[in-house]
Amino acid sequence: MLCGALGAAVALLSTRQRWSEGTTTVAGGAFDLTAKGSDVTGVPAALAIVGLAALVAVFAVRRAGRLLVAALLALSGAGTVAAALLGVSDTSALDEQAAKAAGDTSATVHALSHTAWPYVAAAGGALLLVAGLLALRYGRQWPAMSGRYERAGAPKPRRRAAPTDPDRPEDIWKALDRGEDPTGA
């Protein structure tokens, strides 16, 4: 599960980094533009958060629930990988910035270059995917949370205590400990 937590953290952090950069022509001069991963696509960050929630939930559920949550973890990893790799060649975020900067909706980006951060996000998604696949394979063998504190279907009847003797202070204190009113008859 440490693999999944590391993958989610890497995917989240990499979406806050610069994924692409380019220039556009504004009033006869070059204007530099950059796009963070969250500008390009918000899917890897969202799926990384889903993956983190699934990591916690894997230990909280049992049997079929564990299989479902582990499958969700694996799918969030696969989706993170796919979205990050699709974001590598996406220029729409920079084209929108170029259109705003130039005041012309047909303005586009020139001298486009991409960084390695989308691939780092994909690697984080791959770690999430591995964690999900491991949970699917070995999750049945892992211990589950204890049912010790779960509430049963019907409340247990309260045991009726012996009547409190007002002349004995220890009986009064015991009644108070049980949540009873020792002065009531």
Q: Which two tokens stand for residue 143?
A: 């211990």
Question: Does residue 102 carry a pLDDT above 80?
Answer: no
Distance of CA 104 to the CA centre of its chain: 39
**Which of 169, 151, 167, 135 lies closest to 61 in space, CA to CA?**
135
| Mean pLDDT value across residues 93-103 | 81
Which pLDDT tens digit goes with each residue over 28-54? 777 888 888 888 898 999 999 999 999
Alpha helices, H only, 15-158: 37-40, 43-60, 63-87, 92-102, 117-138
| Average pLDDT value over all residues in the chain | 84
Residues 6+ apart with CB under 8 A from 168: none
Rounded CA-CA distance 151/94 in Å is 55
**Whole-model pTM?**
0.71
CATH numbers and ranges of domains, the chain: 2-141 (1.20.140), 157-185 (no CATH)
